[in-house]
Structure 1
């Protein structure tokens, strides 16, 4: 029975890692679109921007820097970093719990 429980914990840790990694990827894609001045009227650019804005709502206006590109790098980059750190911490805790 412990083998089954540990297998599920490992699966949950992998799912958490993938989900938080995908969120960070969406935010970083939006950041790349901003830096490369992608057409905001493009449906893909617009959809990625909407998702990135939704996921990073706490960070979007954290720092008010005059240069919009630098502001995007700082605010969205911080959001992506936080998602990666939280996902890694949750997955790491799940893996450590599995080993006990």
Structure 2
């Protein structure tokens, strides 16, 4: 079956890449706030923390490490990597999507 490149394949792949990249960025921003000990009472910090917690719900307590900063790096870093990997895989599939 020959590959037929369409404009829609590229647009869908870019949208998927952007969405998963933004999710990873939110998680990494929260991780930076944790490492830099940002004020948890700040509305922006709290909003990013809520979003990051929602997106990384599977990974938040995956590893129980005594140091809270190391625990955050491992758990939230793993969540960000998984989102980037899933986004990369889906983007690759979107670029290779074949149409008749």
Normalising to structure 1: TM-score of the pair? Answer: 0.92
CA distance in 1, matches of 2:99, 2:10: 10
Q: RMSD over aligned Cα, in angstroms?
A: 1.5
Structure number having the greater helix percentage: 1
Deviation at 1:9, TM superposition (A): 1.1
1:84 aligns to what?
84
Shift of 1:18: 0.1
**Contact kept? 1:10, 1:98, Cα under 8 Å:** no
Q: Distance in 1 between matches of 2:53 and 2:75?
A: 11
Contact 1:9 1:94 in 2 (8 A): yes
Structure 1 residue 99, shift from structure 2 partner:
8.6
Q: Which ranges of 4 or more aligned residues in structure 1 deviate by more than 4 Å?
A: none
Could you say which residue in structure 2 is the equivalent of 1:38? 38
> How far apart are residue 97 of structure 1 and its match?
1.6
**Distance in 2 between residues matched to 1:21 and 1:84, nearest whole Å:** 6
* Partner SS, residue 59 of structure 2: coil
Tell me the equivalent position of 1:65: 65
Which residue in the other structure is 1:24 paired with?
Answer: 24
Deviation at 1:94, TM superposition (A): 0.7
Unaligned 5+ segments in structure 2 are none
Structure 2 length normalisation: TM-score?
0.92
> Across the two proteins, how many residue pairs are aligned to each other?
97
